[in-house]
Amino acid sequence: MDLLELRDITFRANGKYILNGLSLTVRYNEVHALLGTNGTGKSTLAYLIMGCSGYKPSSGEILFEGKKINELTLYERAKLGICLAWQEPVRFEGISVRDYISVHNKDIDPAPFLELVGLHPELYLDREVDKTLSGGERKRIELASVLALNPKLAILDEPDSGIDMLSTDDIIRVIEMFKKSGSSVLLITHREEIALISDRASQLCGGRIFYSGEPERVAEMFKSRRCLICDGEVCKDERD
Ligand SMILES: Nc1ncnc2c1ncn2[C@@H]1O[C@H](COP(=O)(O)OP(=O)(O)O)[C@@H](O)[C@H]1O
Ligand SMILES: [Mg+2]
């Protein structure tokens, strides 16, 4: 049995197919990279797995540890051990970084988690999670909070995107920590070099996964911007 299994997922919004026949598995103790160009539906897939409001598959099944979770709320899925680090994290006014990281477990010491994402605890623990934090700082704090939750599945939506982004070394350090604590990771990215960190990778195009396998092979195919689904039509000129 796999940790996460997506079976033939379709998702339509405004009459348009965003995902169309998507199947994907994430195994236990696996770092699985999901590669796709901008606008291919990577974040949409993350919201569907997490169960965000408005994101229910039009058809298909989402199985977590062998159980169908399509009908579960975001909160119920979080309790099962699924956690999402958002591509654009929200800011919360009136909560300190310390409380934000330890909100689900008052017994943990938030400092090592901040250090791991490259922020000095003494400079950040008592700051508020508000608009005075830069996008990059906010993303790092978001990752620290996901690490502190010790989820069974951590979905990281483009931890390497945006200004002031995490470096590849930062991401490797964070991924190693997830592995050490037994979490599986779905690592969403549009950079093939990041996919090389993973144990297995999948390429998303035309609303489905057209290949899952060796990260080196997937990265190579992705780089060439040719895939069997769109024959290069979607993938070719979308470099950013
Ligand atoms: N709720 C929605 N309603 C309408 N269109 C959507 C919705 N969510 C996503 N989309 C569209 O689906 C496509 C995929 O978006 P997204 O999942 O954000 O891509 P990615 O994360 O791969 O860049 C985009 O064209 C986006 O505009
Ligand atoms: Mg996205």
Residue 233's pLDDT is: 61
Cα separations (Å) of 133 from 13, 46, 130, 226?
Answer: 33, 25, 6, 39
Helices and strands (H, E) in the chain, number of each type:
9, 10
Q: How confident is the model at residue 92 (pLDDT cuts 50, 70, 90)?
A: confident
Q: What is the pLDDT of residues 161-175, one digit of tens each?
A: 876 778 888 899 999
- Which residue out of 18, 48, 230 has the highest number of ligand 1 atoms within 8 Å of its CB and is therefore the one to mutate? 18
Nearest CA to ligand 1 atom 2: 13
Please give the torsion angle defined by the CA atoms of residues 131, 40, 21 and 85, in that order, rounded to the nearest 10 degrees: -20
Cα-to-centroid distance, 107 and ligand 2 (Å) = 33
Amino acid at site 198: S
Check whether 123 has a pLDDT greater than 50.
yes
Domains contained in the chain, CATH given: 4-223 (3.40.50.300)
Helix (H) or strand (E) holding 115: helix 111-116
Whole-number Å distance, alpha carbon 70 to ligand 2 midpoint, is 21
Name the residue type at position 171: I
DSSP 113: H
Q: Which ligand is nearest to the CA of 34?
A: 1
The verdict on the CB of residue 41 being under 6 Å from ligand 1 is yes
Q: Indicate which residue's Cα is closest to atom 27 of ligand 1.
A: 39
Average pLDDT, the chain: 91
Global pTM?
0.93
186-203 burial, b at 16+ Cβ within 10 Å, e below that, comes to bbbbbbbebbebbebbbb
Pairing of strands 59-64, 4-13: antiparallel
**How does pLDDT run across 26-58, given as a tens digit for each residue?**
999 999 999 999 899 999 999 999 999 999 999
